[in-house]
C-alpha cells in the first residue's frame, strides 16, 4: 500500500458507485471487492472492510444489488454479490452525475 493513502470523504462518498462498477463487470465476494479497488487504484485508495459492508448493506436495501451463496470447492461458502437491473441504472446515473460535476469543478477550481 502506498504511503499517501487518500481516504478523504470525497472518495468515500463514491464507494457505492465503485462497488456497482465492479459488480457490473462480474459477480464478486466481499474480499474480492476490497482487493480489486486497492489494485485498480494502485494502492491509492484502500477501501476498508467496514466501509465496504456498510455500502453493500445499503445497496442491498435499495435493491441495487443482491447476494447468493457461491459453491466453493474448498473452504467455507462465500456470499457473492450481483448487480440488479435497478443497480445498473443507478450506476449509469451516478456516473453521469460525476462526469457533470467533474466538468463543472474543472472550470471552477
Partner 1 sequence: MHDKLTNYLNDLFAPYDGIKSVTELKADLLSDLQERFRELKAEGKDDDTAFEMTLDSIGDIEQTVQEVANLSHSLERQVLINFSASNLKESDFAGVSAHKGKFKASALRGANFAGADLTSSSFEASDVREANFDRANLTDCSFSTSDLTDASFRKSVFVRTNVSMSSLKGAMFIDVKLTDAKLTMTDLRKTTFENCIFHGVDFKYSDLRGMCLDGQTFIGVKFDKSALNDVSFRGATLRNVSFLSGFTWSKKYYRAIKTICFDGAMLDKLTFASLKGIGCDLSNVTVI
CA-nearest of 22, 39, 1 to 82 is 22
Query: Which residue of 19, 20, 23, 34 would you call a contact of partner 1, by CB under 8 A?
Result: 34
For 52, the grid coordinates are: 465496504
Count, residues near partner 1 per rule CB under 8 A: 18
Q: Kindly state the smallest distance separating residue 50's Cβ from partner 1, in Å.
A: 4
Q: Is 68 in the site for partner 1 (CB under 8 A)?
A: no
String of b and e for 40-75 (b: at least 16 CB within 10 Å)?
A: ebeeebebeeeebeebbeebeeeebbeeeeeeeeee
**Under rule CB under 8 A, which residues in 35-64 are in contact with partner 1?**
35, 46, 48-51, 53-54, 57, 61
Q: Which residues bind partner 1 (CB under 8 A)?
A: 29-31, 34-35, 46, 48-51, 53-54, 57, 61, 75-76, 78-79
Amino acid at each position: 500500500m502506498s504511503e499517501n493513502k487518500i481516504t478523504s470523504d470525497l472518495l468515500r462518498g463514491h464507494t457505492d458507485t465503485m462497488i456497482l462498477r465492479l459488480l457490473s463487470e462480474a459477480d464478486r465476494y466481499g474480499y474480492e471487492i476490497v482487493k480489486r479497488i486497492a489494485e485498480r487504484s494502485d494502492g491509492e485508495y484502500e477501501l476498508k472492510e467496514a466501509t465496504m459492508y456498510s455500502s453493500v448493506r445499503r445497496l442491498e436495501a435499495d435493491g441495487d444489488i443482491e447476494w447468493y451463496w457461491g459453491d466453493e470447492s474448498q473452504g467455507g461458502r462465500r456470499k457473492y454479490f450481483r448487480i440488479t437491473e435497478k443497480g445498473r441504472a443507478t450506476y449509469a446515473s451516478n456516473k453521469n452525475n460525476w462526469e457533470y460535476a467533474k466538468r463543472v469543478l474543472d472550470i471552477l477550481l
